[in-house]
Structure 1
Amino acid sequence: MQKKIFLWFVLIVVLPSGIIYFIANHLFIQYAVEQQISNNNQLIQEMRKNLDTKLQHYQQLSMQFYLNTQAMEEVLSDTPLIECHAIQNQLDGFVNSNRLIASAYLITDKGTIFSGTGIQNIEPIYIEIQPTLLSLEGRIYWTQTYPMVTNFGLADTFFFGARHIRKDQKPIATLILAFNSQFFEDFFQYIPFSKNQEVSLTNSAGQLIASNHPLSGETPLSKTNIRLSSTSNASDWTISLVLDTRNISRELTFIRNMFNLSVVLYLLFFLIISHLLSKQLTKQIHALTAAVNQVGEEGVFDVQVDVSQDDEIKQLSISFNAMTNRIQKLLEEVKQEEENKRKAHMQTLQLQLTPHLLYNSLNTIRWMAQINGQENIKDVTFALSRYLRSLSDIESEYIPLRKELELMEDYTVIQRFRYQDFTISQEVPESLQDYLIHKLMIVNLVENSIIHGIANLSEPGVITVQARREDETLYITVKDNGVGLPQELIDTLTLQDDYATDELNHTGLRNIQTRLRLYHGPSYSLIVDSSPGEGCSVTIPLPLITKEP
């Protein structure tokens, strides 16, 4: 028994706890990875917006050349570039207004003019970007980065923002702004990523523009890597971040290890507790089992179990003790009920008249009345003879409803000679008349209605007998328009003492109530609906009986 309890405890508590842990651990890691991906993706979007803001600022800055009317006129004039002071001032304004612009170039058919440090060998880049500038029709183009040397001999990495200066939809010059490496140093300086995460900028051709780890090269994608990217709205650049999900999992190692340790301690604790509980439970259960065997095998019902323990077994033991006490009480109640039935049967025997002598006497009276033409005496003696013949069958408690209704008719024939001003009607379906009911119950109710209900009425009395079926219950109702029942009588009918003294002289109702409870239990009791001066309705509930038990 102890091993079974221990095994069931392990299967029900410990094993499901382990399964739940592994599922929770997997879901936790998956959730953490998804959250990290979502957060990093939002950060990439913010970086892209920041980049667009910077590039759009310089795009607007380059548009100032169009607003310089004198510079535009100098581009279209034949004035030598060395004398074009408006152009020179505009280019100086570009360089001096922003520390990230190393040089500003304007290249026309007349030649090249620049401001700033100047960059050696810029002509190949100028030639390379011309097809792209023609396709952009005056919009700015952001190039890739190039390692170059300034006119002062300083090496650096530059990228260019170039656009055609147009007049009448035709290019008349090329404006080139050269940005030094400080642009990307500033851009990557405050990125909210860990040091081992690589953020890179590439163009539409896949060329690397810049990276926060420029010497590491582009991280190749694998099954454990995820690339997050966002394309700039102001250029063809794309900002990308490669996430290694293994690194996210490693960051959670400490939390996971602590969780694993707590789960191991939890399972160990429950194993120990389950062993101790199973041992304690079986000790008390063995004692309870021994007591049950005494009751079941030996028939000893006065056995009691120790209830000194303060736990669930105590409640079980208390219930067991209450059960044995209840069994003893039920045995006593059964004995008492059998004694009550015996007494009721004896009372029925005592109420029977000596049949044959009475039948012969009534038949003699009936024939004499018929010879002398006394039809009323003949009818009443005939009805009384039939009525008493039915009463003589003392061996049978039950009678078909159809037969009971015939007895009721015989009884009313007798009573009409004393109480003439009443009518009685039946509303009993033919389908219900073969069910068995207790003998004389309806007759007793009709008698009660005649004697106690309508006898002293100043108006004609009306008695109605009804029957209906609801589920497995037969309801028989006798109602009248008489003086009604006093509340004291109705209250006495609800008492549990079926042999209480009837001080209100309604023995018939009391006998019916007693017989119902004796044969069918307390759930079958008379249903009385009456008020003084407003008539009375009494309903007998009975189970459906097709043959006598």
Structure 2
Amino acid sequence: MLTVIPMSLLGYIAYSQYAASIEEQVGEYIPKLLDQANVNISNQLYEIKRLPDLLYNSSQVISILRKDPYDIRSKTLQDEFTVNNYLSRTYINGANPHILGVFILSNNRVYQSVKVPYYDFGYESLPYGENFELKGNEEMIILPHQTTLHFEGKPPYILLMRQLTDFENRKNLGTMLIAIDSKFLEGVINKLNLNSYSHADLWMMDQSGRIIYHTNPEYIGKVDEEIHQYPKINGSFRAMTDHETSLISTNHLESQEWILVHRILAKDLMGRADIVRNVTIIAFVIFVMISTAISILVAWQVSKPLNRLARQMERVEKGTFDVVHSDSGKDEVGMLTNRFNSMVLEIKHLIKEKYEIELKQKEAELYALQSQINPHFMYNTLETIAMAVEDDEKETVVRMVTLLGRMLRYSINNKDLLVPVHNELVHMKDYLTIQKIRFEDKLDFVVNEEFNTKKYYTPKFLLQPIVENVVKHGMVYGKVTTIETSVKIVPNINTGVEEVVFQIKDNGPGTREDILEKIQTSLNSDPMAKRDSQFGLINVHARIAMNFGLNYGLQVNSEIGEGTQVEVRIPVIAEEGIHDWKKD
């Protein structure tokens, strides 16, 4: 736009100024040519007006014209032949090629010689034997509309009427009429090249607007209705003709009070300039299109990497850091891309470093938790075994030692963080069996498996901390505490994605609402901030959220006197997809 608008405006102003200059030059040039044309036309008219003088070169013709009207018809016909023959030799075949006919009216006699047949002259009605005299000037020019004379084919003409005088006797010999084809004007005009413009019009008219000659023959003899708009002085002016702007030039022929008019349309006047203008416009449009295409291409080459960089920033904003772009140029955008890549790599390195530190810290806390739990459990179990030995309960001792050994082997094997759900349930059953032996009839448990637990996997040590918490806080004096555990696969009510759900429910005293809110707050905070009595539950929840996201974890529901229910949700990890979840 910054290029097209100024250039278009400048071109329009330049063209307008050029058009005005051309019009001004033509407006000054054409009247000069018209003036020269009128001079030449005046000279031609002067020559035409001298044509009757050729008649005086023949004394025989003059003597015939001096005679009075004859009574003898034969003598009259002989004189008529003599005069007509002279008129034919002198005027029709020699004096001027544009003469259409010559007529002499003398003493009611008519002599004539014509090149083109004529009709309807009107002198036949004149009284024979009387003189026909021209009244007024000695000579005058008559236009076709002022007479009834018509030639075959209706060629345009002017009629010169001249009084014939016998200079010796000072008498009137009669009237001579010479019809001149108006084409003699065309020869004068063509010599000055006034019709150099193909669509220009040129015509000669009298003071009333009657057109004597026109470049378009259809207008000859008609009246120019716009003559009142033409100025009385010679020059050029602009006018509207047929809803188009024209440049009109006029010049007056003072000797005959004729007006020579030249008209050309402004658009034809600028014909050649319009061709240059159109070529320039086409070239300019092509240039603009090429420039626009180049601009779009350059802008696209600049905007494409910027848009790509913006999309990469959006991905980084959403937490995706694998957006490093290696195809970067050496321009400013390439430098910006390189800096962005360096920033992303640095952020990714820092996140990874922090993640590894936190992971190691969580693992350390996990191992610390295992170390914290295992000594207490070991001490209580060994104490129970010692009491059974004293009571000589060999089968109980063997069973407890077998269960304890299997639990220790399961705990020591930390190679796999994901184990079959079946193994985790076995580990929980071993723990509850030992506690049942220890507490005898005060504790009971039930495990319900609703799918093939050997084909699905779960993180280790999810269930033991929960049931251990039940044993510690859920037992009521004088009442059998029952721990009911179920595992099933159900769809999530919000997402519809299937999940593995562990439910551990007891019939203990329940948990007060304030303590339940405290537990829920702890689950939503840093699980490693402190180690209270709910540390086992918080650790389980944190491990699930860390491995599978915040959509999974642990939830506690409890009512006073009704017991407590702990629900653990993890994603479905099938045997064939275990490699997607395992970590080195």
Q: Which category of TM-score, normalised to the shorter sequence, fits these structures?
A: 0.3 to 0.5
Q: TM-score, normalized by length of structure 1?
A: 0.39
Which of the pair has more CA radius of gyration? 2
